[in-house]
């Protein structure tokens, strides 16, 4: 019986060692999102979500950063390092190339004057923000909940499955194993 358990344990460990490899999704930290805007420019046209602040709404090739856009798991936070007041029509549009946006809802954590749910539109996966009449101070933030938006997917490793199956097998073997009754011997 002991040799069977040892053989099963060795087979499970060998299988786990050969199947286990680093998660391949680590190459791409998260979703790929594009940025287009008017009349100012996005800091980069495309970014991978999960590396901190992905986009800046800027003037003059990064000379002045008006707004920063930080995507996290199903959340977008918009901040400004300076007090900003937008008068004319300005907009910025994001598109998630990996996992298209399905909804965008302004959360209660928003501390900005003039920005409402009506400032956000979502059509065919294109998430558009209009900043007409918006003021943002350097202590405030706009937070938008994105259901189905950028989310870094978990990648289970093969060793996890191997260890789980081995654990269930050992629990089953322990439940099945019965000790032989001890016999009392009187001298």
pLDDT, tens only, 36-78: 877 777 777 777 777 667 777 765 555 555 777 887 777 788 8
Integer distance in angstroms from the first to the last C-alpha of the chain? 32
pLDDT, tens only, 71-116: 777 778 887 776 666 667 778 888 888 778 788 888 766 666 677 8
| H/E run at residue 85 | strand 84-85
| Per-domain residue ranges of the chain | 28-147
Q: Tokens for 27, please give them.
A: 């190459």
């Amino acid at each position: 019986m002991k040799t069977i358990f040892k053989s099963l344990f060795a087979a499970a460990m060998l299988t786990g060692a050969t199947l286990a490899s680093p998660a391949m999704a680590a190459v791409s930290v998260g979703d790929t999102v594009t940025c287009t805007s008017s009349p100012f420019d996005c800091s980069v046209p495309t970014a991978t979500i999960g590396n901190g602040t992905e986009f800046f709404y800027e003037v003059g090739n990064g000379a002045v950063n008006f707004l920063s856009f930080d995507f996290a798991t199903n959340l977008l936070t918009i901040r400004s390092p300076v007090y900003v007041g937008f008068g004319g029509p300005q907009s910025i549009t994001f598109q998630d190339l990996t996992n298209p946006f399905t909804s965008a809802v302004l959360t209660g954590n928003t501390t900005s004057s003039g920005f409402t749910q009506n400032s956000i539109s979502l059509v065919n996966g294109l998430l558009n923000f209009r900043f007409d009449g918006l003021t943002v101070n350097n202590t405030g933030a706009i937070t938008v909940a994105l259901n189905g938006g950028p989310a870094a997917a978990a990648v289970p490793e093969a060793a996890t499955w191997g260890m789980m199956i081995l654990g269930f097998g050992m629990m089953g073997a322990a439940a099945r194993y019965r000790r032989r009754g001890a016999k009392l011997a009187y001298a």
